[in-house]
Structure 1
Amino acid sequence: MRILHTSDWHLGRTFHGRDLLGEQRDVLAGLADLVASEKVDTVVIAGDLYDRAVPSGEAVGVCHHILAALRAAGASIVLTSGNHDSAARLGAYSEFAAAGGLHLRTRISELDSPVLLADEHGPVAFYGIPYLDPDPARASLGISGPDSVGHTGVLTEAMRRIKADLATRGPGVRSVVLAHAFVTGGEGSESERRIAVGGVEQVPARVFDDIDYVALGHLHGPQTLRPALRYSGSPLAYSFSERNHRKSVWLVDLTAEGLGEVRRHDLPVPRPLAVLTGTLDELLADPGHADSVEHYLSITLTDRVRPLEPMRRLQERFPHAVHLDWRPEGGLDDARLHYSAAIRGKDDRELAASFVADCRGALPDETETRLLDEALHSVCGEQVRS
């Protein structure tokens, strides 16, 4: 059996205010061609189809289009919910969807009830563990005690139930588990929502021992923790910390004995990400930045004085500049970083001048000082000292 492992679509997500739905549709629709060309039998999606619990109508429409295309290309689909999804909404009508080859595993009560699919070697049991928020999951699983605390506790119990069910299936039944979790050894990025409870969000890899393949979701970088334990990552970059990721999916072959070959298939990049640093004039004039004109850009300006309207001017050359930071060359004086030290012993005029300096990195000039004096006089009704 050939399996395509993907996760973390986050349909409906924006990138620094830019709508990504069109790019998401283009990249994910291409998975149907991959299913057809590689003769994929089953697509597994390990959570976070949507970016929010109540997705927009447009996001739902794109998701429906992609899932229908995957099914039309010949693959069954098994998916589970992530921490961004609403498990109840995503799992609605799951019994009817299964009749059409779309198998939704979003209920804790069903995590040890596998989707049974077969190839020429016999059955494969697909178990879907929806994202387990520890405290509600403990109640749903009916467990208590110190060993049940946190993500490790509830996932350990979930896997205990899965392995108990698998043991009843008899020899020769191969197993695939979908799980949305932060497994120890994985490398996170800035775009993942923290799932820490009591300061601990990671679970040890040993929890997933004795399974032929574990399709993980949640972390956005593709990575291999063990040959049978992998993150596919997100199909697009959702933060500048991911600019060097090679976004991809895994093609997993199961043989009669269990896990066979696993291949990585890189996905297209609709618009690359880059980070630029320099003064405004340097960035606008340097021909070396010509290759970055069509990238999404995070720009750090190093001008000693904050330029006027920097984003507008930058976007005249770099229309996809979406994030701007200002870090003046030489840095800020440490005293200006502490409010109490910054105001101690200063009158209104000095405080106003310090505010201007903090905002743009330079004290007000003579004309600006005169304007500040006039403004303070009009407010205070008295002459400020010269």
Structure 2
Amino acid sequence: MRLLHTSDWHLGRSLHGEALIDAQAAFADLLVEVVAGESIDAVLIAGDLYDRAIPPLDAVELFDDTLLRLRSTGVPVVLIAGNHDSAGRLAFGSRLLEAAGVHLRTRVETCGEPVLLADSAGDVAIYPLPYLEPALACSPLEAGEVRHEAVLRAAMARVAADRARRGEPRSVVLAHAFATGGEPCDSERDLTVGGTASVPTAVFAGADYVALGHLHRPQQLAEHIAYSGSPIAYSFSEAGHPKSFTVVDLPASGPPRLERIPIPPWRPMARLRGTFDELLSSAEFTGHEHAWLEITVTDERRPANPMERLRKRFPHVLRLVFEASTTTEVVYGEKVEGRSDLEVCRAFVEHVRGRPVTAAEDALLDAAVQAQRIAEVA
């Protein structure tokens, strides 16, 4: 059986204020083309379909159109909710979609209920596990602990029990999680609220292939466990990362064979660094004029109107960083970059009040951040 694995579309996302809907439409066109031309038997989408719980209208329209075009190829689609999606909102119409060959799983209770496909070698059971927020999934899964590893182990126990009832068919697991050994980027939302973020790959024992979502860098953690990565770059930490769809050939027995089909960037992305005069005139930077750019200026003194002047040569500069030690001004984005939601909230309170938060206050902030996360994915 030949499967196409993709994830982390983040429809509706922008990049430092730049709309990405055209770039997202371009990868959707390529996806449909690949599915139609590569003898794909099923499309697997491992979560984060949208970038936020209530996506903009153009993102919803693009998602609807893409699903319709995929189904017009005759190929079934299996997809799950990610941590950026609102599971409850995304689930609207899912039972009707199921009848149309689009198998959308968003509810904890469906863990262990497979989508059954078949080829000449027999059945393939595909188990979609939506993002399992520990505080919401612990009780229905009877996990015992409010931790990412605990809820995923409980979900995989249901998968194992179902496989045993069916005589151990070949199986594929879709999951949205941070697996140990994976390499993150700046553009992924922190999962540490609700316990340690990462889960060991041993949690997924028994599956013939594990199609993961959440991390945006394409990477293979074992011969049968992989992240497809996001189809386009969503932060400058991803500049230079190749983007791709993962095609998985699942044989009658033995390990799967993985192939990456490149996704050409809709617009290149790069990080440039130099003095202001070098950036404006040096041939070293020729070829980047039409790229999305993060530019680091190394001058001791900040030049006048830097963004306006740089955009005469580089019209798509999106982020400007001043490196010189004499520069004391720090933009808000630099202050929060790489910090978790809890760390940002804690720093804000400490800045406003001029003193560190107490242990009791920190616990209240932690509870508030967790409550907001639960509200977003519910």
Which TM-score band applies after superposition, normalised by the shorter structure? Answer: 0.7 to 0.9
Give, as a single letter, the amino acid of the residue that structure 1 aligns with 2:177.
A
CA distance in 1, matches of 2:189, 2:147: 17
Provide Cα deviations, 1:95-133, integer angstroms capped at 9, x if missing partner.
110111100111100011111111122211111111111
Aligned-pair CA distance for 1:199:
5.9
The equivalent residue for 1:150 is 147
CA distance in 1, matches of 2:53, 2:101: 24
Name stretches of at least 5 consecutive residues in structure 1 with no aligned partner: 338-386
The equivalent residue for 1:46 is 46
Give the 3 Å change call, closer, same or farther, for CA 199–207 of structure 1 in structure 2. Answer: closer
- The correspondence for 2:283, drawn from 276, 282, 287, is 287
Give the 3 Å change call, closer, same or farther, for CA 76–259 of structure 1 in structure 2. Answer: farther
Provide Cα deviations, 1:294-337, integer angstroms capped at 9, x if missing partner.
11110111121111110011011100100001112xx2499x99
Give, as a single letter, the amino acid of the residue that structure 2 aligns with 1:156.
R
Secondary structure at the residue paired with 1:221?
coil
Aligned-pair CA distance for 1:57:
1.1
Secondary structure at the residue paired with 1:34?
helix
CA distance in 1, matches of 2:179, 2:223: 14
Structure (1 or 2) with the larger CA radius of gyration: 1
Q: Taking structure 2 as the reference length, what is the TM-score of the superposition?
A: 0.85
The equivalent residue for 1:316 is 312
The equivalent residue for 1:220 is 216
Provide Cα deviations, 1:124-159, integer angstroms capped at 9, x if missing partner.
111111111111111222332xxx231011101110
The equivalent residue for 2:182 is 186
Give, as a single letter, the amino acid of the residue that structure 1 aligns with 2:216.
H
CA distance in 1, matches of 2:323, 2:181: 33
The answer on 1:89 being equivalent to 2:85 is no
Provide Cα deviations, 1:153-192, integer angstroms capped at 9, x if missing partner.
1101110111111110014x11010000000000000000
The answer on 1:266 being equivalent to 2:262 is yes
The equivalent residue for 1:384 is none
Verify the 8 A CA contact 1:35 1:74 in the aligned structure 2: no
CA distance in 1, matches of 2:277, 2:70: 49
Verify the 8 A CA contact 1:28 1:235 in the aligned structure 2: no
Give the 3 Å change call, closer, same or farther, for CA 317–19 of structure 1 in structure 2. Answer: same
The answer on 1:251 being equivalent to 2:247 is yes
Deviates more, 1:56-65 or 1:213-222: 56-65
Verify the 8 A CA contact 1:33 1:73 in the aligned structure 2: no
CA distance in 2, matches of 1:191, 1:167: 39
CA distance in 1, matches of 2:143, 2:277: 62
CA distance in 2, matches of 1:324, 1:227: 40
CA distance in 1, matches of 2:195, 2:114: 32
Deviates more, 1:91-100 or 1:75-84: 91-100
Name stretches of at least 5 consecutive residues in structure 2 with no aligned partner: 331-378
Aligned-pair CA distance for 1:259:
3.7
Secondary structure at the residue paired with 1:292?
coil
Q: How many equivalent residue pairs?
A: 330
The equivalent residue for 1:380 is none
Verify the 8 A CA contact 1:40 1:74 in the aligned structure 2: no
Give, as a single letter, the amino acid of the residue that structure 2 aligns with 1:57.
L
CA distance in 1, matches of 2:158, 2:100: 27
CA distance in 2, matches of 1:169, 1:153: 25
Give, as a single letter, the amino acid of the residue that structure 1 aligns with 2:197.
E
CA distance in 1, matches of 2:230, 2:15: 14
CA distance in 1, matches of 2:182, 2:87: 24
The equivalent residue for 1:232 is 228
Give the 3 Å change call, closer, same or farther, for CA 168–239 of structure 1 in structure 2. Answer: same
Secondary structure at the residue paired with 2:286?
helix
CA distance in 1, matches of 2:44, 2:26: 19
Give the 3 Å change call, closer, same or farther, for CA 35–326 of structure 1 in structure 2. Answer: same
The equivalent residue for 1:362 is none
Verify the 8 A CA contact 1:9 1:48 in the aligned structure 2: yes
CA distance in 2, matches of 1:107, 1:62: 23
Which ranges of 4 or more aligned residues in structure 1 deviate by more than 3 Å? none
CA distance in 2, matches of 1:320, 1:143: 48
Structure showing greater relative contact order (alpha-carbon pairs closer than 8 Å, 6 or more residues apart) = 2
Give the 3 Å change call, closer, same or farther, for CA 286–16 of structure 1 in structure 2. Answer: same
Verify the 8 A CA contact 1:29 1:69 in the aligned structure 2: no
Give, as a single letter, the amino acid of the residue that structure 1 aligns with 2:208.
D
Secondary structure at the residue paired with 2:271?
strand
Give, as a single letter, the amino acid of the residue that structure 2 aligns with 1:132.
L
Verify the 8 A CA contact 1:175 1:213 in the aligned structure 2: yes
The equivalent residue for 2:67 is 67
RMSD of aligned alpha carbons: 1.6
Secondary structure at the residue paired with 1:85?
coil
